[in-house]
Structure 1
């Protein structure tokens, strides 16, 4: 039998599933345009929106906020390939395709042609049925490698917004919130140090805060600047 240190067990039990709520979305200049666009729905100038941004910048958070507003259906590549369009839009009118660049990953030319044709048909039906679609991607549409001219045209007709890399203000706000969620009051010097030293990714900040919290529980030590310097 493996014996687990009670402090380790406690720290593992305290980890919470991430909650994507509008009240949890912290706004700064880097994501303001995308956030305001989601809030403006259904008053969009077109029914298709593309949200661009690196991994960990908040694309999934924004699309989940919209999903809760609309009960949208999330389509990954497996689900999309299985769609039979007959009567499909009678029950569903709101869709999210996350990380669309992965649709074109590791497929041959024939599969790509078929996929592009199906995406074009899907795009056309979005318009015909007055449905709505959000696509997220870490790459600009010009790097998706789409060959079909009509599909290219449809995609370019979408509203496109880009979430920039998190600025210092956003990283600081996120860190304060992550520590607050764990009931940890953190010194401003530590926040500045982590922002300066860390990768500009919201996902990475979550890992850092989890690590600091877990190690402080294991070591039974206060979280101060010297303690944090040893961890990151």
Structure 2
């Protein structure tokens, strides 16, 4: 029998406030986002490792503040005159082009002049961003900084349930703690494992089980 073809279709993530799980690992960052009206000079930087929930939290804030959410790569084509009262820019530490830095500088000034709010997300703290434009660097350093910490068990478990739900993948409750005891303890590993389980389940036409998870982790060297 020919092996069933599977397609790595991107799951549509649930990015609402009710879908964001709060634990001791992210409670401080969430509180800081909720208090966005009190941000120093109307701007904040949100940092954390890949898969830490920065995008989700940025969308939670955007819904509350009436903000647009754009990637850093989109800055060059963004007209400051079209901005609303607030803006979130993701992945600012990924090496902006000079044109993107100039655009972000002008956007910052427009929002500051209007009393608007600006949220920037990144993996690293602002001091480590490879910015060329001195004026932009000085303005970024005036922002507050919120950090999403390494995940605890409760947060990793909640993330895995959410990722599975986004993919419409049904996992028996016992499988989450089973996987947590054996996997790398990171957001990226949780994302990778759920994607692998989903693909394997579709390929084998079987419900996920302990044997499947054990085999996937063994293949990944975990």
Q: 1:220 to 1:147 in 2, by over 3 A?
A: closer
Instruction: Report the equivalent of 1:20.
Output: 15
Q: 1:118 to 1:30 in 2, by over 3 A?
A: same
Matched-pair contact (CA < 8 Å) for 1:51–1:160: yes
Q: How much does 1:4 deviate?
A: 7.0
Structure 2 residue 163 is matched with structure 1 residue 171: no
What TM-score, normalized to structure 1? 0.75
What TM-score, normalized to structure 2? 0.78
Matched-pair contact (CA < 8 Å) for 2:95–2:131: no
For residues 150-202 of structure 1, the C-alpha deviation after alignment (integer angstroms, 9 at most, x for no partner) is 43332121110111121222112323444565343231xx4334223333443
Structure 2 residue 126 is matched with structure 1 residue 141: yes
Instruction: Report the equivalent of 1:56.
Output: 51
Instruction: Report the equivalent of 2:29.
Output: 34
Q: Secondary structure at the match of 1:42?
A: helix
For residues 101-140 of structure 1, the C-alpha deviation after alignment (integer angstroms, 9 at most, x for no partner) is 2243xx5xxxx3x655554443333221101100001111
Unpaired segments of 5 or more residues in structure 2?
218-222
Instruction: Report the equivalent of 2:90.
Output: 98
Matched-pair contact (CA < 8 Å) for 1:50–1:137: yes
Unpaired segments of 5 or more residues in structure 1?
none
Matched-pair contact (CA < 8 Å) for 1:176–1:186: no
Matched-pair contact (CA < 8 Å) for 1:51–1:134: yes
Matched-pair contact (CA < 8 Å) for 2:3–2:203: no
Q: How many residue pairs were aligned?
A: 214
How much is the aligned-residue C-alpha RMSD, in angstroms?
3.0
